Chain A
Amino acid sequence: MLAREVLQELIQVLGAENVLTEQEDLLTYAYDATAAMKHHKPDVVVSPLSTEQVAEVVKIAVRHNIPIYPRGSGTNLSGGTIPTKGGIVLSMLNLNKILEIDQDNLTATVQPGVIIQALNDEVLKLGLLYPPDPGTVTTATMGGSLSECSGGLRGLKYGVTKHYIMGLQIVLANGEVIRWGGKTVKNVTGYDLVALFTGAEGTLGIVTEIIVKLIPSPEARKSILAVFDDVDKAGKAIASIIRNKIIPATLEIMDNVTIQTVEHFVHAGLPLDAEAVLLIEVDGYKEVVEREAVLVEQILKDEQAVEVKIAKDDKERDLLWLARRSALPALAQKRPTTVLEDATVPRSKIPDMLKAIRRIADKHNLNIATFGHAGDGNLHPTILTDERDQDEMKRVHLAVDEIFQTAISLGGTLSGEHGIGIAKMKYLDWEFGEAGVAALRRIKEALDPNYLLNPGKIVRRD
């Protein structure tokens, strides 16, 4: 419980309507989209309307030594927004304006509460695109997606969130406001704090304004489906496409378990006996797309795809992508609890990783489906389970441990796009070693010495 005095100060700054204190409201901020996480109720939820108000909230928190948990839509998958130590949840959703779209410099300036899709709807009217597209584009905020450095389906060709963040306004842990970066492509003034704060999960400062890079929206696109009777062949096909110097916008894979589930769900015509399917999309100028599609088709055939299908029209294209987009929903309906991981390996190791996941599933007698962004090595092993079954959950945790061990041993990483949060904190030294974790801690302590900003995430306080 917060002292009355603290609440009064918050209400004075924000107005009573932007300060939630009743249990029935607070409890709805005790969780996020991460499966099987312990809930923690905050003491208060505040919704600032300006950078100044954010700074004032931080100063109040500093004076009374209260933790602050910044939050967008709470769609992350790493426990990143759960207020583990109570305190203040800082909802950024009322800072939801697109401040500027600059067609000459190809930038947009937005507040952190803007929904990703809302920005894309606006820039598309001008023939522009903001490429990062996590599965949550219609719900996630720009601030949340920046803080988690989310990726999505277009990572292979267009990169991920961090490649599009050019400038930030940040409220520091002492309540001071700084601006870093801007609209210039080149900027080497000082340390690259823009890069540091992107993906920092709100543990180093609170972002209140974001300048992002936009690109011209591609003129045309073509989708191709390839069916394989062997995971290795699919893996070779992925490598071969890239070796032939074609960079598709999207290069997705679904394993047999996923294919079976999806096909029963949407009837997109996926072959039930396939060991893997690849879904590929090339985009760009019409002429380039035509040429690349033919090349990709040839490569897939050379790599012994059982079947290759180019979507003839938008309807066929939509059906293919409906199949891919239905992967998670279809899987999620099979069992009550869906543990979705994002272990990532160099793309050449995709077949090894897929086979390892299959072994781990068999070993622990679990139902694991794998799909994901094969082109950038980012897989989503998805464990279908039931939180209420304690014995099974034990096996789930063991399997998750082994999946991460495997990813790291293959030269990969713990998290491709979901972030560390609480969920993967304990694995960090597997990837960085003790010295690496200590380096992270020193950065955290330099910027937030009292652990007030999203404490309990990424870096554990000793």
Chain B
Amino acid sequence: MSVYNSLDSITEELHKCMKCGNCMAVCPIYKETRQEVGVARGKISLVEYLLSGEIEMTERLADRFSLCTTCMACNTNCPCGVQFDKIILAARAEAVRKKGLHPVKKIAFTALKMQRMFDFGMKTGSLFQGVALKHVPHKSDRIARMRFDIGIGTDKVFPMLASKTLRSEFPEVVKVKNPKMRVAFFTGCMINYFYTDIGKAVVEVLKENDIEVVIPKGQGCCGIPASVNGDVASASALAKRNLRAFEKLGADALVVACSSGGTAWKHVFGELLENDPEFKALADKWAGKSYDISEFLIHKVPFKKQGLGRVDRKVTYHDPCHLNRGQGINKEPREILKSIPGVTVIEMKEPGRCCGMAGSFSLVHPDLSVQISDRKTADIELTHTDTVATGCPACRLQLKSGAENAGIEEEVLHTIQILAESYRAGKKNEIRSL
């Protein structure tokens, strides 16, 4: 029984909690609000009251359940081993079953399901985004601010929509001479529509390592925005679409450069589709060969060290929650960074603390999201680096917004972009030495 289908699935998880309150030491939301409802212990109690029938599911209760970035910091600090992310996902799914989805989210998740419509909207958006967004001059990132407040504040700096989506820039199969492997690339929405530079770097690095890259056109949203908000139906539909698209083209392995996408392929698809034997088998099969790009380049196909050129950067690395705690990947990106000539890695205080983005959390709780982000930005500033590397496009957005608003000169990049940069620098040297 998965957390998405029934609240009963988490009763044992709830009983584990002894209310010690250790979650208070690490919860990013509680640190800002200092209200019990902000922390895991408080919400666990509310779920218990709900299960015992003492309270009913109300919109106010659903509001309280929205107070979680699912950063899983409490999981790692819990003496009783409570997996709070399971509890909160189950509670949100229950809220949607009982009270329906928030109307705005309903529209958004429906759009995600209709890929062609969504694509069209995003393309039109890239032409007309100037109406709502004001471009912020910046040397490396195409970023903008909201011109007016639509309920999410005007502080947040957004990336501009790319003029061409990533998937329209590449053929479905990117060939190389003497391929040693065929790898499918799940792009995810942020990389496809906004951060195409990350996607291009992924393809570039894979090609450099003699890997044929497959980018199925039929792929869509990973469904995580829907599943974390309890919209199980939309999330399941998206999971099936993606499984079909990748199964059609086939590959030896699947890579992602986005921590949500990785979580989706490795864990969530199987959980969502547990009652559908055919798709469950498919989900498990692909879960077994899904890799985060840094994980892939360290463990599956160790990346080529010769040909790495010098990249002069002082880098600090931010651990995305769903990559670090969600998939246990934190050494790999650092190993990649440290192997690049010219890169110095300087750790920030608490690199694993949530940046406060958490997808739609930052839209529903913009002020809280900014408060959490400000702490992260302050930690970054103390490192006196020029670059923040991370492994997740959503974190990149948040970190960039934080740095921009604090007025600090800090480039925010995905680890893979710095590796691609190094291969490029290596080639330049080769040409020069010819």
Contact = CB atoms under 8 A, between A and B. Distances in A.
B267 interface: no
A35 interface: yes
Interface string B402-415: 00000000000000
B19 A31 contact: yes
Contact of A24 (B16, B64, B79): B64
A249 B16 CA distance: 33
Contacts of B45: 27-28, 30-31
B6 interface: no
B21 interface: yes
Contacts of B275: none
B42 interface: yes
B24 interface: yes
B368 interface: no
B18 A138 contact: no
Contacts of A328: 79
B19 A93 contact: no
A416 B413 CA distance: 53
Nearest to B43: A28
B25 A33 contact: no
A74 B21 contact: yes
A391 interface: no
Contact of A27 (B46, B58, B81): B46
Contacts of B25: 117, 138-139
A33 B18 contact: yes
A410 interface: no
Contacts of B46: 24, 27-28
Interface string A63-101: 000000000011100000000000000010110100000
Interface stretch (B33-41, B109-117, B194-202, B243-251): B33-41
A388 B46 CA distance: 18
Interface residues of A, number: 36
A73 B24 contact: yes
- Most chain A beta carbons < 10 A, residue from B34, B58, B60: B34
Contacts of A138: 22, 25
B75 to A, nearest CB: 13
Contacts of B61: 24
B427 interface: no
A32 B36 contact: no
Nearest to B42: A28
A348 B36 CA distance: 42
Interface string B50-79: 000001001011011000000000000001
B49 interface: yes
Given A24-B64, A332-B79, A333-B81, A29 B36 contact: yes
B15 A136 contact: no
A329 interface: yes
B21 A23 contact: no
A330 to B, nearest CB: 8
B173 interface: no
A338 interface: yes
A25 interface: yes
B20 interface: yes
A332 B35 CA distance: 25
Nearest to B19: A33
B169 to A, nearest CB: 48
Contacts of A73: 21, 24
A336 B15 contact: yes
B37 A25 contact: yes
Interface in B3-25: 15-16, 18-22, 24-25
A24 B55 contact: yes
A30 B45 CA distance: 9
B80 interface: yes
A20 interface: yes
Contact of B20 (A47, A75, A336): A75
Contacts of A27: 45-46, 49, 55
A29 B39 CA distance: 12
B80 A333 contact: yes
A22 interface: yes
A344 to B, nearest CB: 21
B79 A47 contact: no
Contacts of B42: 28
B46 to A, nearest CB: 6
Nearest to A113: B34
A367 interface: no
A337 interface: yes
Nearest to B22: A139
A155 to B, nearest CB: 20
A274 B39 CA distance: 39
Interface in A331-350: 332-333, 336-338
Contact of A139 (B24, B60, B80): B24
Nearest to A77: B20
Nearest to A74: B21
A198 B418 CA distance: 57
A28 B18 contact: no
B34 A93 contact: yes
Contacts of A338: 18
A389 B43 CA distance: 24
B428 to A, nearest CB: 44
A22 B36 CA distance: 13
Given A20-B35, A94-B34, A136 B21 contact: yes
Nearest to A334: B80
Contact of B37 (A28, A337, A386): A28
A94 B34 CA distance: 7
Contacts of B55: 23-24, 27
A186 to B, nearest CB: 37
A82 to B, nearest CB: 11
Interface string A21-57: 0111101111111110000000000010000000000
A337 B18 contact: yes
Contacts of A329: 79-80
Nearest to B21: A75
A247 B58 CA distance: 58
Contact of B80 (A24, A32, A332): A332
A33 B60 CA distance: 25
B94 to A, nearest CB: 15
B353 to A, nearest CB: 14
8 contacts: A23-B55, A24-B60, A28-B46, A34-B19, A73-B21, A332-B20, A333-B16, A333-B79
User: What 10 pairs across the A-B complex have the smallest Cβ distances?
Assistant: A329-B79, A28-B42, A28-B36, A138-B25, A93-B34, A336-B15, A75-B21, A139-B24, A28-B37, A332-B80
Given A24-B55, A136-B20, A138-B22, 4 more contacts: A24-B63, A25-B36, A139-B24, A388-B15
Interface of B: 15-16, 18-22, 24-25, 34-37, 41-43, 45-46, 49, 55, 58, 60-61, 63-64, 79-81
